[in-house]
Amino acid sequence: MTVTGHRTTAWAEARALAHGSVAPVAAGEVALDDACGAVVAADVLARGDLPGADTAAMDGWAVRGPAPWRVVGEVLAGAVPGPLDDGHAVTIATGAVLPPGADGVLRREWGVAAGPRLTPLPEAPEEVRSPGPVGIDVRRAGEECAAGDVVLPAGSPVTPAAVGLLAAAGLDEVAVRRVRADVLVLGDELVRQGPARPGRPRDALGPLLAAWLGELGVTVWPPRAVPDDAAALAAALAAGSGDVVVTTGSTARGPVDHLHDVLAAAGARWVVDGVAVRPGHPQVLAMLPDGRPVVGLPGNPLAAVSGVLTLLEPVVAGLLGLPPREPGRCVLAEPVPAGDDATRLVPLRDGRPMVFAGPAMLRGLATADAVAVIPPGGAARSQTVECLSLPGTWR
């Protein structure tokens, strides 16, 4: 039996339904080496002060009292120095622990040592020359964070810099959420390599989705080609082990569009079956009985991107335990028409609609800096409208 699904859903409502349809995936502790690209599941607390003691911020001398000073030794990183007496100095390396009693550090370019006698140069700042460099060029204990401070809030992406921060803060493992996706590219006619041929378009969506999902922090197995056959599609859905299934094509009701019937036979629950948006109206979201969401994207490339922005990105955010990404605002440099019955998503650059932006085209999107959300009825020149940023513009 063919299932007709629900009514066509308004664009903003579809995004809200997509986000609210899923629960966050389970969190797991992973080693820092394996955490990059995931999302922190809970606030991460520093295990110790950073730095753990007062340390030298520059190479030079740790000094106590006013100049001149008598140099009595050196302190290297990793050493635990003894107290420093008044009028004395020790050579010190960047990152080395400051001796107890030291007022600060005289950086190397501001001092001159003649034998054991150390004096500041005339070009040294006044606070260095007199009465003494109190607190100069010192990183105080706990300056960056104290033990127990939140150094990375829940929901933060684990970037390379975040990995370094967590290591510096004493962490060896961190609780993260990571979403895995199965991507099923449907269509007998698609060419997987080389140029397109008459009647055989090149598959653009497999590579596009793998890259786009990667930017969202999703682990994507190599996209799988699925022929236009209901049994093959049912088997591919059943064999998936990801947290979300993404399909391309077969969302309409053509002679080889089997997605609706296969989902109905699998006992799926419809969340969205068609969105009032152009391009990309025939996009769908359904929940399989095992809890996996299936996001069905149209087969035309720009229409599929409409589905990514409308349904897939909010689903991924929900699985990661993140709030939905709210649209920004942009000002149109020229009027943009839209039909009265649907939102229109339009690739822009500097507020101007891109050419080569038909439902089957990606050329305009590839050089756009945003996608404008044009309300039904269109928008005028200089009108402020919602817009969605694109991968490559998030950083």
Domain with CATH 2.170.190.11 in the chain: 55-139
CA dihedral angle for residue 29, residue 323, residue 264, residue 206, rounded to 10 degrees: -70
CA–CA gap between residue 281 and residue 61 (Å, rounded):
70
Of 292, 40, 289, whose CA–CA distance to 157 is shortest? Answer: 40
pLDDT in 10s for each residue of the chain, 395 residues: 334 445 799 999 999 999 999 999 999 999 999 999 899 999 999 999 999 999 999 999 999 998 899 999 999 999 999 999 999 999 999 999 999 999 999 999 999 999 999 999 988 877 766 655 556 899 999 999 999 999 999 999 999 999 999 999 999 999 999 999 999 999 888 888 888 888 888 889 999 999 999 999 899 989 999 999 999 999 999 999 999 999 999 999 888 899 999 999 999 999 999 999 999 999 999 999 999 999 999 999 999 999 999 999 999 999 999 999 999 999 999 999 999 999 999 999 999 999 999 999 999 999 999 999 999 999 999 999 999 999 877 54
Domain with CATH 3.90.105.10 in the chain: 29-49+144-175
Backbone angles phi, psi at 77, to 5 degrees: -60, 135
Backbone angles phi, psi at 223, to 5 degrees: -55, 140
Digit-coded pLDDT (tens) for 195-246: 888 888 888 999 999 999 999 989 998 999 999 999 999 999 999 999 999 9
Of 340, 348, 339, whose CA–CA distance to 383 is shortest? Answer: 348
Domain with CATH 3.40.980.10 in the chain: 9-25+178-319
What CATH number was assigned to the domain covering residues 9-25+178-319?
A: 3.40.980.10
First to last CA, the chain: 47
pLDDT at 129: 63
> For residue 101, which amino acid is it?
G
CA–CA gap between residue 274 and residue 6 (Å, rounded):
8
Beta bridge partners of 24: none
For residue 4, what are its two tokens? 């007709």
Provide CB contacts within 8 A for 298, sequence distance 6+: 248, 249, 251, 252, 279, 280, 281, 282, 283, 304, 306, 307, 359
- Cβ count within 10 A of residue 287: 17
Q: Are β-strands 117-120 and 111-114 bridged in parallel, bridged antiparallel, or unpaired?
A: antiparallel
Q: How far is CA 167 from CA 47, 52, 57, 160, in A?
A: 10, 13, 20, 11
25 contacts 319 by C-beta, under 8 angstroms: yes
pLDDT at 133: 54
CATH fold of the domain at 55-139: Molybdopterin biosynthesis moeA protein; domain 3 (2.170.190)
CATH classification for the domain delimited by 29-49+144-175, as one of 1.10.357.10, 3.30.360.10, 2.40.50.140, 3.90.105.10: 3.90.105.10
Long-range contacts formed by 117-121: CB under 8 A, 24+ apart: 117/68, 117/69, 117/70, 117/71, 118/61, 118/63, 118/67, 118/68, 118/69, 118/70, 118/71, 118/89, 119/67, 119/68, 119/69, 120/67
Q: Are β-strands 275-278 and 9-10 bridged in parallel, bridged antiparallel, or unpaired?
A: parallel
